[in-house]
Amino acid sequence: MSSEGYSITPWEARGKIDYDKLVEEFGVEKISDDLLEQIRRLAGDLHPLIRRKFFFAHRDLNLVLDDYANERGFFLYTGRAPSKAPMHLAHIVPFIMTKWLQEKFGVNTYIEIPDEEKFLAKKVDSLEEVEPYVRQDILNIAALGFNEDKTFIFRDSEFIGRMYKPAVLVARYINFSTARAVFGFDGETSIGLIFYPALQIVPTLFEKKRPLIPCGIDQDPYFRLQRDIAPRLNRFKASELLAKLAWGLTGPESKMSASEPETAIMLNDPPDTVRRKVMNAYTGGRATVEEQRRLGGVPEVCTVFHWYTLLFEEDDKKLEERYWACKTGKLLCGECKAELVKRINNFLALHNKRVADAEKRITKYMYDGKLASEMWKWEFRP
């Protein structure tokens, strides 16, 4: 998808994104306050990521809530394509959202690890290059504490035996001209990447319930396609809970990117690296301390404030205090950054302890937990 001034595809987002325009162009809906209230009522709570509308748009989320309220149930599906670098903070945001939804609604959760995608997209030169990160990514996801009996994490290369037949059914309904229009494929695209959308759609067919997919809005094209196909296969149209793109540390128009280390906090960054990256981060601060005391900062464009908002200040009141302390020149960038460094390092220390614990559990998610065992016997029946 591209339009004047910005472009957004599952592979790259550039420039300043006009989310209102995107909502209109993609034909999705913004999450209304009413819908938020419904979620709060059913879940008993609202996660900051949705309360603060980082997850800001949706498709059919109202129908998902209806299905839940009327005991028809739903299921969760998301994924992560391993690359040649570890995951960073922005990568786990949708998984944190998904984990929260699983916890609150008690539903099955499917996590696809398309271990071939980056290779087919020519982002890496070999499958071997990706391999070490496949396990690491799965551990990072598992560390978030998904339910062992209700979560299935699967690698495309391993689970393809069960996925290929439904992928063939899906693929039959996607002509090249559609795929080209939706994903921007061209003559240089490998025939493997052209087929890949079928494999990303298959997990939406795993159950005869409505699938809810928490993901970045850049992933919407896959599921827009799915919505044309699913009814023909006697399955539900995908519903989506769509996030904005998290900012990189180099500015509100940047994106965390493993290939530009200064933009991203990697989940395995040591504390001093986190410190260096955050201390160098782009903020809404002024040129001098004097100026900042006088004029105040601009938290609206500050990547440090952005990350407080996403993951590092759960308390709305405290977040607001921080906002005004900045705005009024009371809180300077150095102090604010130092606090974020502390919080990120605490988070990563705990996360990495959980990663070590997850070692024991990943076979549950992948092979022998309740849902995983069932899925290894799964066959698609329309």
Would you tell me which residues interact with a copy of itself (CB under 8 A)? Answer: 116, 119-120, 122, 127, 156-158, 160-161, 164-165, 167-169, 171-177, 179-180, 185-195, 197-198
- Are the CB atoms for 94 and 49 separated by under 8 Å? no
Least Å from the CB of residue 370 to a copy of itself: 23
End-to-end CA distance of the chain: 31
Q: How far is the CB of 118 from a copy of itself (least distance, A)?
A: 11
For residue 257, what are the β-bridge partners? Answer: 260
For residues 64 and 35, the answer to whether their CB atoms sit within 8 Å is no
DSSP 88-139: BHHHHHHHHHHHHHHHHH---EEEEE-TTHHHHTTSSS-HHHHHHHHHHHHH
Q: Is 4 left (phi over 0), alpha (psi -120 to 50) or beta?
A: beta
Classified as helix, coil or strand, 257 is strand
Please, which residue, 192 or 252, has the CB nearer to a copy of itself?
A: 192
CB of 187 to a copy of itself, least distance (A): 3
| C-beta of residue 148 within 8 angstroms of C-beta of residue 365 | yes
Nearer to a copy of itself, 190 or 280 (CB): 190
Specify the residue, 27 or 161, whose C-beta has the smaller distance to a copy of itself: 161
CB 86 within 8 A of CB 119: no
Closest approach of Cβ 217 to a copy of itself, in Å? 23
293 vs 297: CA distance, rounded Å: 8
By beta-carbon proximity to a copy of itself, the closer residue of 76 and 167 is: 167
Distance in Å, CB of 195 to a copy of itself, minimum: 3
Toward a copy of itself, which CB reaches closer, 56 or 119?
Answer: 119
Name which of 69 and 181 has its Cβ closer to a copy of itself.
181
Shortest gap between Cβ of 231 and a copy of itself (angstroms)? 16
